[in-house]
Every structure is written in C-alpha cells, then in structure tokens.
Amino acid sequence: MNQYRTVLCAVAVLAAAPTFAAGLGAAQVVERNVAARGGLEAWRAVTSIKLTGQMDAGGTENARLPFELTLARPNKSRLELKFQDKTAVQVYDGTQGWKVRPFLNRDEVENFTPAEAKVAASAGELDGFLIDYARKGYKVESRGSEFVEGKPAYKLLVTGKGGDQHTVWVDESSFLEVRIDAEPRKLDGKMHKVWVYYRDYKTVSGLGIPRTLETVVDRVEKHHTMTVETVVVNPPLSAALFAKPQLPAAH
C-alpha cells in the first residue's frame, strides 16, 4: 500500500471537501459503526477472543513471527510471540502487567514500566472504543471529518473514565474503523505520533474483525504489520492465563 500521497492526489484532496451523510452526529456514527461490526447484542455476548497470525519483528529486517493474542473482558490481555525455540510473553490482568523477553537474554519476569502500564490501561476492551461506549463510561464527540488513505472518514474523539483520550476515524461508506491514534513514542529524544490502521475486515461468528493492523510512527519509514489468520470467539480460558507468568524451575 502506498503510504504517501502523490502530488496529483494531494491536489485533488485539497480541492475537494469530503461529502458525508448530512446531519450525522457522533452518536449516529457510532450506532452505524456498531451495526456494521455485527450489532451491540452480538458483541455483548463476547467475553473473550483469541487471535493468531504473523507480525513484524521489531529490529529484524523483514522477519515475520507467529503470535497468539488472547483478550478477555474487562481489560485483560496475553500476547505470546515465538522466535525460534523461545516464546516471549506479555500479560496484563486489568490492573498490572508483566513481560518475559528471552530473545533479549532476559529470562526473568519483568513488571511493566509505568509507560507500558498506562498504554495497557487505556487500550480499551476487546471490542474497541466505540461499541457500548456509554456503558464503559466513555464519552464520544465529533471532530469533523478527514481523509484517511484517500477516503472520507468521520473523526471522533473518545474520552475514557480516567480522562485519557483517543481519536478514532470511521469510514464514511462502510462505517468501520479505519484508523485510531495510539500512545506517542519517544525516538531519538523526540516524541512521534503513532497511528494504527485497520484493514481487511472479515466476519467471524457474525462479528466484523479487522485482519490487518498496521502501526505507523510519524516520520519513521518502517511500519509494523500484524496479520490475523485465525479468530476464535469465546474460547475456554484458564484464570491463570492472565496471572503473573511462572518460569520453569532451573535444573
């Protein structure tokens, strides 16, 4: 996908204003988004979800590593990333988080840094920021419209219970999320904006789920892509899955 607009495309975008359905406020956009993703009752019935696939490995040229991501309500997550014969683990139990990074020769269980904990706490539930937002205690406001990858999209500001804010862009035609902003990253002593693009939606158990997620850091050429290959809705899970990882006893 071409991440940068050509001069001709840029001129066309500047010359034309987005044409959106008249009179749609934030609540109406969210209502159509929820319907496009399968409906409120269908998502309320989801207590957990497991995704597997391939993702880009940071710092490794063109490497794609298998991952398994398990999400559970209200805000639990477990990510396993396999590299050769080693497995990296990142767990958040809704309050605190831990990580194990053997491929960096760190075989101990480490606590999340304050920055990592902040990101995990503000990440939202498994169905995103918009579905059932009022029940979650979120506030959604319209911020007009913008083009996202050449297509008009509604721009919504979501404010969480703790005051954390995220911007969500919803495609004007499909009413699916196409981009969200993520926690800024500090690189080379400077803060860089971060966006996650959602693409290639597929229907699984009646739910609309993006199969490609691309993370883009402002002014950084290399992007990182997660490709989802399988989705399991409401898999049986052990409570220990989201507990502090236990390392095998040394022999």
Other CB atoms within 10 A of residue 148 CB: 19
In degrees rounded to 5, what are phi and psi of residue 100?
-130, 125
Name the least confident of 50-64, 97-111, 235-249: 50-64
pLDDT at 18 over 60: no
- Amino acid identity of residue 169, one-letter, is W
Specify the pLDDT at position 14: 27
- Amino acid identity of residue 154, one-letter, is Y
Sign for the pseudo-dihedral over CA of 74, 76, 77, 78: negative
Closest CA to 129 of 70, 91, 170: 170
Specify the pLDDT at position 67: 96
Specify the pLDDT at position 249: 59
Specify the pLDDT at position 62: 65
In degrees rounded to 5, what are phi and psi of residue 60?
-115, 120
pLDDT at 192 over 50: yes
- % of the chain beyond a pLDDT of 90: 67
Specify the pLDDT at position 144: 95
Tens of pLDDT, residues 109-153: 999 999 899 888 888 899 999 999 999 999 999 999 999 999 999
Q: What is the mean pLDDT of residues 59-63?
A: 62
The per-residue pLDDT of the chain, averaged, comes to 87
Q: Which two tokens stand for residue 31?
A: 């209502």
Distance, C-alpha 118 to centroid of its chain: 15
- Our CA angle for 13, 168, 149, nearest 5°, is 30
Distance between CA atoms of residues 140 and 157, nearest Å: 6
Specify the pLDDT at position 32: 98
More confident residue, 121 or 213: 213
Q: What is the mean pLDDT of residues 30-52?
A: 98
Element (H, E) at 42: helix 40-44
- Amino acid identity of residue 104, one-letter, is L
pLDDT at 9 over 50: no
Conformation bin of residue 205: beta by default, left when phi > 0, alpha when psi is -120 to 50: left
Specify the pLDDT at position 186: 84
pLDDT at 2 over 50: no
Rounded to a whole number of angstroms, the CA Rg of the chain reads: 19
Q: Where are the beta strands (DSSP E) in the chain?
A: 48-56, 64-72, 76-83, 86-92, 97-101, 106-111, 139-148, 151-159, 165-171, 177-187, 190-204, 207-217, 224-233
- What's the CATH fold of domain 36-242? outer membrane lipoprotein receptor (LolB), chain A (2.50.20)
What is the DSSP secondary structure assignment for residue 128, as one 8-state letter?
Answer: B
Structural domain boundaries of the chain?
A: 36-242
Closest CA to 228 of 50, 74, 109, 25: 50
